[in-house]
Every structure is written in structure tokens, then in C-alpha cells.
Chains A and B, each alone.
Chain A
Amino acid sequence: MTDFEGLIRRLRGAEVRFVLVGGFAGTVLGSPRITVVLDIVYARDADNLARIALALAPLSPYLRGAPAGLPFQLDVATLARGLNFTLTTAMGDLDLLGEVAGGGTYEQLLQHTHRIRVFDTDIDVVTLPQLIRLKRAAGRPKDLEGLAELEILLEERVRET
């Protein structure tokens, strides 16, 4: 299983700037759904790319689902040439997203976040309405049940206030 705590601590420890999105953001916000991947939208500036490469290097990141033995190295040059990386690491599956449908870049997404304390570290987590927008924009049939849960979660939170 993905070591969510280990990955988040490692990224925050290296001062990587990112926004938590995806299923684990849903968990933090109250979704009862199980997720196995850590999804983050990361800042694309050179400093941040260097921090990501440094933080993940000891975890032997590799392209998830790719045949073994490809000459893949997640360094600054690779990060700069690519955008979205679906990775497997020694701590589990990690999706590094430079942009996300319906939410754009890290900078654009940051205004739709809350800073929430998770695993004794403060992280920027996408707001629930924005998480719903992102999942709607992804347009995947497999997300429909999860979307219904997230929208009910939002309704329940509004009802409580």
C-alpha cells in the first residue's frame, strides 16, 4: 500500500510546493472512499523541480505500468521536459501533476485550497467544491459514484453550518 504519511513527510521535508488533490484529498476532506494513489499538483519552477527530484531520488521512482528496464531517471531535466508523471516508488504510487483538467497549474489551484494539518505537517489541500470540479472535468465514468459522495459531503457540510 502507498505510504501516504511517508511520501507527504518526504515532500514537505524537502519543502516541495504542491497541492493535494485526488482521492487522498477526498479522504482528508471526509470521503469514506478507499484510495491507493497520492495525487499532487506541483509548482513547475526550477527550484521546486530540484526539490522534487531530490526528495524522490532515494525512492527509485519509475513510470507506473511501463516495462522494466527503461532508462528512466526522474531528475530536473526529465521533470522539465514532461508535465504529468504517474509513478511507482518505494513508498507506493504517486501521481505528479504539472496541470490538472479543470484546475490548471499549481499557482491557479492554490487559490482553491485550505492549509490542513495531516500527519503533523501542514499541507495545502484542494477545497471540496474544487475537488468536485476537478473530478467532473476529468470526465471518467469510474468517478461518478465518488462524485455523488463528494457532492453529498458538500451538502452535509453546508447543512451543518
Chain B
Amino acid sequence: MGRSEDTRVYNDQRANERDDESLEPDPVIDAYKKDVDRTLIREQLRRPVDVRVRNMIAAWRFAEALREAGRRSRVT
């Protein structure tokens, strides 16, 4: 997918989201926000959709490889 296509999609998204109802604050969720890495979120937002998806899949495979290595080390 081209970068220009991705930008077009996201312009649409932002326009729609401004029209969407606002969310009531939830103090329980707000308490969790202090632990969220905003730099990671901002980095994600700069990436095209396909890159976000590929990165998530790669992270999952890496985690799975670590789990498998752990399983093997317990067996031997």
C-alpha cells in the first residue's frame, strides 16, 4: 500500500472521529494512563497501517520464539 493511500484513510478517520460522541472520563482507566508510554503511541501513529500490522506480527513471533526456547530449556 502506498503512503498517500494511508494518509487519505487517516484524514477520513480524523474527520469522522471529531463527529463522534465524546467519551465520559473513567477514573479507573485514567489511573492506568500514567503507566502508558506515550512516545511509543506517537511512534505508532506515524507508521502506515501495514507497518503497524507487520510489527505486531513480528513482536508476537519473537515472544513465541522466547516461550518456545523457555519450554525447551525446561525439558532438557
Residues in A lying within 8 Å of B, measured CB to CB = 1, 4, 27-36, 112, 114-120, 127-130, 132-133, 136, 144-145, 147-149, 151-154, 156-158, 160-161
Contacts and interface: CB of A to CB of B under 8 A. Distances in A.
Contacts, number: 109
A116 B49 contact: yes
A130 B19 CA distance: 12
26 contacts: A1-B61, A27-B53, A27-B56, A30-B41, A34-B59, A114-B12, A114-B13, A118-B53, A120-B1, A127-B20, A128-B13, A129-B17, A132-B23, A136-B26, A145-B32, A147-B26, A147-B32, A148-B29, A148-B33, A148-B36, A151-B23, A152-B41, A153-B45, A154-B23, A156-B38, A160-B45
Interface residues of B, number: 40
Interface of B: 1, 5-6, 9, 12-14, 16-18, 20-23, 26, 28-30, 32-33, 35-36, 38, 40-42, 44-45, 47, 49-50, 52-53, 56-57, 59-61, 63-64
